């Protein structure tokens, strides 16, 4: 069971890191304001050379393969809810790495997710 939780926490960390890195990269690349081909090509060029986006994609790939590994040996009814901890880590990353304002209601929601995962972990 300990190895299962090591895999879950590794997946959660990779998924959260991927989300945070992709967000940081896209903030540097810029917003998509129009669907004009010229503008979209400029955005795509900036995205392709942004190292944060590359690292984010790598983290998401690691998360995906860890998810497949977990599913090969554990029930979906355990694996999927336990990966909700990625939302918790992403909220912390948004607050402390991306310096976003996180409202009290979001913190409460994060605590509810933690409580749900704790219930899932009970036998």
Q: pLDDT for 22-51, tens place per residue?
A: 999 998 988 888 888 998 998 899 999 999
| pLDDT score for 32 | 83
Contact 18, 5 (CB under 8 A): no
DSSP 69: H
Examine the pLDDT at 114 and tell me if it is beyond 80.
yes
| pLDDT score for 34 | 82
Sign (positive or negative) of CA dihedral 98, 54, 46, 43: negative
Three-state SS at 3: helix
| pLDDT score for 30 | 82
Mean pLDDT across the chain:
93
Mean pLDDT of 64-89: 94
Above pLDDT 70, what percent of the chain? 100
Residues 84, 64: Cα–Cα separation, whole Å: 14
CA nearest neighbour of 7 among 69, 100, 49, 78: 69
Examine the pLDDT at 73 and tell me if it is beyond 80.
yes
Contact 67, 81 (CB under 8 A): no
Higher pLDDT, 70 or 1: 70
| Structure confidence at residue 109 as a pLDDT band (50, 70, 90) | very high
Domain that includes residue 98, residue range? 2-121
Could you give the number of structural domains in the chain?
1
Examine the pLDDT at 123 and tell me if it is beyond 80.
no
Residues 100, 107: Cα–Cα separation, whole Å: 13
DSSP 100: -
Q: Residue 112: enclosing H or E segment and its boundaries?
A: helix 104-121
């Amino acid at each position: 069971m300990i190895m299962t939780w090591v895999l879950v926490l590794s997946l959660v960390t990779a998924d959260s890191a991927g989300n945070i890195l992709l967000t940081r990269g896209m903030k540097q690349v810029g917003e998509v304001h129009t669907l004009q081909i010229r503008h979209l090509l400029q955005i795509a060029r900036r995205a392709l050379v942004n190292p944060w986006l590359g690292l984010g994609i790598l983290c998401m790939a690691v998360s995906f393969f860890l998810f497949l590994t977990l599913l090969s040996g554990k029930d979906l009814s355990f694996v999927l809810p336990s990966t909700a901890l990625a939302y918790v880590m992403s909220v912390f990353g948004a607050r402390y790495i991306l310096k976003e304002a996180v409202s009290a209601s979001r913190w409460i929601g994060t605590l509810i997710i933690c409580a749900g995962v704790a219930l899932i972990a009970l036998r």
